[in-house]
Amino acid sequence: MGCISSKNASCLTDQGASPVHHRENSPEPDFSSLNQQHRVFVDHSLGASHNNRRSRKSKRLGVSLLSGLSAHRNVEAEQAAAGWPSWLFSVASEVVEGWVPLKAEAFQKLEKIGQGTYSSVFRAREVETGRMVALKKVKFDSLQPESIRFMAREILILRKLNHPNIMKLEGIVTSRASRSIYLLFEYMEHDLSGLSSNPDIRFTESQIKCYMQQLLWGLEHCHMQGVIHRDIKASNILVNNKGVLKVGDFGLANVVTAKNKHQLTSRVVTLWGLLAMECQSICGVWDIEQLHKIYKLCGSPPDSFWRKTWLPHATSFRPQHTYEATLRERCRELPTSGVSLLETLLSMEPYKRGTASSALNSEYFLTTPYACDPSSLPKYPPNKEMDAKYRDDMCRKRANLKLRDSGVGRKHKRPNSYAKLPIRQDTFEDKNMRNDASITSTTHGNYYKFSDPPVTTGPAGGFVWAVKRRKHPDNISTLTYYQPSSRSQLSETSVAFAKNAFGLNSNLHNDSVWEVQGDNDDQIVDDVPSEGKLSRIGERQGSLNGCGLDFSQRYKDSPVKINLEHLQSGKQSISGPLIFKSSKIDEILQRNESNIRQAVRKFHFQRGKKILITQE
């Protein structure tokens, strides 16, 4: 527990009111100018022109460029005077336009309540009012303009949104001397991931409708502002003790404009858990697996879809046989109107897919039982995704120990139901449990409930599921992949693998990198390693330049084939169920992991050398 310290900042005002100090007529952030702000074009051909009219025009243009430049300098001077760090306003001055930084001393930082890929979230007390708040420390590299721009995008989008069901950005804590920033939000006691993974909590139909309605109201607002969230998942849906739901984490959000609507990346949205995201860096199996699951739930798109689609590489994802939707069967306990709504929202064909607005007008919300009032929702003890993960980890450790004790070795076993997972009290018994290095991946609570994969006990654990699936005749598809045959061949791509792995929500690896750099979340950290940030840039940016891999090349051939051109070694085709031989996969995963580690070590070693040289 400790106070964040910084020197230059203003202090907070009334409780409940936005603590941000707005200047008069604070303009709306202009997204289009974010990347162009500092590009001042001087057209040298203008002065050489013999055309008088053109020359006069050029002079006018020159004058306006100069006055634009000086206006810009004024803005920067103002922002510096307000106490903003220069690395921030010189790259993305729109972010702080009309605001002044909040004093770090104005908050007492309490415990960590959330750990995302791009941030750590802390509960804090506003010293003046005693109000609880959440401070999100965003990970980025203040030495890298691209990294700053991506962090800035989240802020700009948050500033653009103003709705009771959207997390409101109340201010930014930083200072002229600081190299990190904290985003200030209202404190929310729960996230839906934590709540729904608690076996003791069962929502009634009207409570579900209440949450759904609030979620859709929030999303409708985003869409009306041209904002698409692109990472809607239970842990990003926050709920407070008054029953109010707010959509959070706009780190992957973007603004759709007429210009960019066909250019946005498909490399967003969290797949089905961190483990999957880590494994995704290896042969891309998990994308395909997830798609396979989706087909099995929602049915595969009809022939007309594949003929009409303009999505690049779409036909690569075409399954070899038709899947009938099983959604109705799987959701037979839900009311018909609810399943119909789900069907519309999950429709594979975009023109059939419902919008947030159409969902709000659907029969589901117009029939009894109606959505309850948020204030009537029960008050639950604080429960976050982090708590659920902690329970999962403990459960896996326990399962692993049991298996060892029974001499089963590395065989994997799936718990019968998530409800049987230990709740937090139980886990205290496990405090003295041996810390098994192989049990490192964390899994989302809902993962067990819905996707029903096995407990994983090692880096390759996910493939047990693939092995299990061999028994099911409906999992048939063909997949081709290039299997690396030797360590040396893989090492050529190790950096790419490392970057890719970091870019794909690999908390496990991110954490170790941060430790290497001596990052301490209790202090304002001045620098952060750029490796993780680089990949983050790639991922958030929507291009994969930072990762060194071109995913657009990944699924060149059809149907459901993986063609990894960066693994230029032995081609292997598998026909039949969508599986790999687990032993081979184990090997590949282990090799990849060690390559990733090597690449990271090498990177830090080289970076350290560079720093030394610079200092000399």
Ligand X SMILES: Nc1ncnc2c1ncn2[C@@H]1O[C@H](COP(=O)(O)OP(=O)(O)OP(=O)(O)O)[C@@H](O)[C@H]1O
Q: Convert 194-205 into a string of H (helix), E (strand) and C (coil).
A: HHHCCCCCCCCH
Minimum CB distance to ligand X, residue 173 (Å): 14
Distance between CA atoms of 471 and 460, rounded to whole angstroms? 20
The strand pairing partners of 171, in sequence order, are 184
Distance between CA atoms of 534 and 425, rounded to whole angstroms? 39
Three-state DSSP state, 112:
strand
Kindly tell me which of 185 and 463 has the beta carbon lying closer to ligand X.
185
Distance between CA atoms of 424 and 391, rounded to whole angstroms? 6
Count interface residues toward ligand X (CB under 6 A).
Answer: 24
Minimum CB distance to ligand X, residue 592 (Å): 22
What phi, psi does 384 have (nearest 5°)? Answer: -120, 170
Interaction of residue 502 with ligand X, rule CB under 6 A: no
Interaction of residue 187 with ligand X, rule CB under 6 A: yes
Distances (CA, A) of 321 to 285, 304, 473, 474: 19, 15, 12, 10
Choose which of 134, 173, 245, 394 interacts with ligand X (CB under 6 A): 134
Distance between CA atoms of 413 and 433, rounded to whole angstroms? 19
Kindly tell me which of 238 and 297 has the beta carbon lying closer to ligand X.
238
List the x/- string, 355-394, binding to ligand X by CB under 6 A. Answer: -----------------------------xx---------
Per annotation, catalytic residue among 141, 191, 231, 519: 231
Minimum CB distance to ligand X, residue 115 (Å): 6
Choose which of 124, 158, 188, 537 interacts with ligand X (CB under 6 A): 188
Minimum CB distance to ligand X, residue 219 (Å): 16
Interaction of residue 535 with ligand X, rule CB under 6 A: no
Minimum CB distance to ligand X, residue 132 (Å): 9
Kindly tell me which of 127 and 132 has the beta carbon lying closer to ligand X.
132
Stretch that binds ligand X, among 244-252, 303-311, 597-605, 606-614 (CB under 6 A): 244-252
Interaction of residue 119 with ligand X, rule CB under 6 A: yes
Stretch that binds ligand X, among 81-89, 109-117, 362-370, 474-482 (CB under 6 A): 109-117
Three-state DSSP state, 123:
strand
The strand pairing partners of 112, in sequence order, are 122
Q: Which of 32, 18, 30 is nearest to 169 (CA)?
A: 18
Distances (CA, A) of 223 to 147, 150, 152, 213, 238: 26, 20, 20, 15, 19
160 is in an annotated binding site: no
Interaction of residue 539 with ligand X, rule CB under 6 A: no
Distance between CA atoms of 555 and 386, rounded to whole angstroms? 34
Kindly tell me which of 91 and 239 has the beta carbon lying closer to ligand X.
239
- Do 361 and 332 form a contact (C-beta atoms < 8 A)? no
Interaction of residue 172 with ligand X, rule CB under 6 A: no
Minimum CB distance to ligand X, residue 282 (Å): 20
Interaction of residue 235 with ligand X, rule CB under 6 A: yes
Interaction of residue 185 with ligand X, rule CB under 6 A: yes
Interaction of residue 117 with ligand X, rule CB under 6 A: yes
Kindly tell me which of 125 and 136 has the beta carbon lying closer to ligand X.
136
Kindly tell me which of 94 and 385 has the beta carbon lying closer to ligand X.
385
Strands 171-173 and 227-228, bridge-based pairing: unpaired
Choose which of 249, 343, 392, 593 interacts with ligand X (CB under 6 A): 249
Chain centroid to CA 513: how far?
18
Choose which of 175, 213, 236, 316 interacts with ligand X (CB under 6 A): 236
Chain centroid to CA 96: how far?
23
Choose which of 152, 157, 181, 238 interacts with ligand X (CB under 6 A): 238
- Do 375 and 242 form a contact (C-beta atoms < 8 A)? yes
CA distance between the termini of the chain: 38
Minimum CB distance to ligand X, residue 195 (Å): 11
200 assigned to active site: no
Angle at 413 between CA 412 and CA 415, to 5 degrees: 150
Distance between CA atoms of 483 and 153, rounded to whole angstroms? 38
Annotated binding-site residue numbers for ATP: 136
Question: Which spans of this chain sit near ligand X (rule: CB under 6 A)?
Answer: 113-114, 116-119, 121, 134, 136, 167, 185-188, 191, 235-236, 238, 248-249, 251, 384-385, 505
Which residues have a catalytic role annotated?
231
